[in-house]
Amino acid sequence: MKNINQLLKIAIACGGLKHSYGSVIESPGCELLKSVVNSIDFNLKKQQEISLPLPENDGKIKTMNAMGFMTPEYDMITSKFIDFAATSQHPVLDGGAAYGVATIPALKKGATVIANDIDQRHLYLISKNKMLTVDDKERLYLNKEALPNLNLPANFLGAVLLCRVMHFFTPENVTQMFKNVQSWLVPGGRFYLVVMSPYHYSLKGFAKTYEHRLANGDKWPGIITTMTKDYIPKYKGKIPDFLHVMDASVLSKIAADNGFLIKHLELFGHNRTSKENGRGYIGAVLVKKDGEENECN
């Protein structure tokens, strides 16, 4: 049985993950994982002039690739992920990490974190975060694959967080993400999810459309393709026009279809502005089956 550092060093040596120091560590056993880890081209040196965007009036920090915002404080699902990650004997994955709202505190609590984002400028800023000590950085790994296509070994991760990222996924990618996370997690590993719901305050009038589609048997009732035209014109250029929201019924069905037990599922709000109605997001903690069945009953 290999320990957490041995596994990660093998993955790095195979080119799949880049250590936050940018070094590649040679490791025996590379052949073992070569077939399952994608190689990436991640040159941190090119990113040295990048700095964190100034916060908006409400404190949110826009992403550099117009994929929404990172909120400065984390929600209760992310909080659960951070606490669980700190106790995990395995690496955890923060998918769509942005500037590290979850990655940084998880590292501070002792977790080994693979911070993933399609924009490597975000990852660069995580690696340069002044709160991180040398010891924290030893446990930080950076990856810029577009999820769900991160090629990790089976039974490798203790937990996965996907906070406010999956609503950018097509139905095919949502399904693939669940299948991949099911494979990557160790038995009993946990999948922490936060997805925009049809009840988000910005989606005025969409909840009715959603419920109508759901009642008519639409498997994916939450697809919107005109976000900035019909819902948030002021965010044109800051968010994509495609959005894929979900409620508890849709999320719990995908979870069950893909071998997860539901430990926690609720609509909640970030309570950041007076516009929040407490139902803008669906949050879930899912457990890979055959690990913790009894605990979830």
Ligand X SMILES: C[S@@+](CC[C@H](N)C(=O)[O-])C[C@H]1O[C@@H](n2cnc3c(N)ncnc32)[C@H](O)[C@@H]1O
What residue ranges bind ligand X (CB under 6 A)?
A: 63, 65, 67-71, 95-98, 101, 116-119, 122, 146-147, 163-165, 168
Task: Give the up-direction half-sphere exposure of residue 161: CA atoms within 13 A in the CB hemisphere.
Answer: 30
Q: Are 191 and 181 in contact (CB under 8 A)?
A: yes
Q: At 275, which helix (H) or strand (E)?
A: none
Smallest gap from Cβ 185 to ligand X, in A, equals 18
Output the smallest distance, CB 52 to ligand X, in A.
13
Between 25 and 66, whose beta carbon lies closer to ligand X?
66
Give least dist CB 229 to ligand X, A. Answer: 19
β-pair type (281-288, 260-268)? antiparallel
| 69 vs 124, beta carbon nearer ligand X | 69
CB of 33 to ligand X, least distance (A): 21
Cα–Cα distances (Å) from 77 to 193, 247, 251, in that order, read: 7, 16, 15
Tell me the residue number closest to ligand X, measured at CB. Answer: 96
Q: Which is nearer to ligand X, 146 or 154 (CB)?
A: 146
Query: Is the bond leading into 148 cis (omega within 30 degrees of zero)?
Result: yes
Taking the complex as a whole, the smallest distance from the CB of residue 138 to ligand X amounts, in Å, to 23
In the complex, least distance from residue 194 CB atom to ligand X, rounded to whole angstroms: 7
Question: Which residue type, as a one-letter code, is found at position 113?
Answer: V
By beta-carbon proximity to ligand X, the closer residue of 97 and 152 is 97
Length of the chain: 297
- CA dist 165 and 185 (Å) reads 19
Separation between Cα atoms, residue 26 and residue 295, nearest integer Å:
40
294 φ, ψ (degrees, to nearest 5): -65, -40
Return all residues near 297 (Cβ < 8 A) that are at least 6 apart.
none
- Rounded Cα distance between 211 and 233, Å, is 24
Residue closest to 141 by CA, chosen among 14, 2, 275: 14
Identity of the residue, 9 or 199, whose beta carbon is nearer to ligand X in the bound complex: 199
Q: How far is the CB of 124 from ligand X (least distance, A)?
A: 12
Alpha carbon distance 178, 191 (integer Å): 9
Q: Which is nearer to ligand X, 70 or 159 (CB)?
A: 70
Please identify, using beta-carbon distances, which residue of 67 and 224 lies nearer to ligand X: 67
Nearer residue to ligand X within complex by CB, 117 or 136: 117
162: enclosing H helix or E strand? strand 157-163
- To ligand X, the closest distance from the beta carbon of 96 in angstroms equals 3
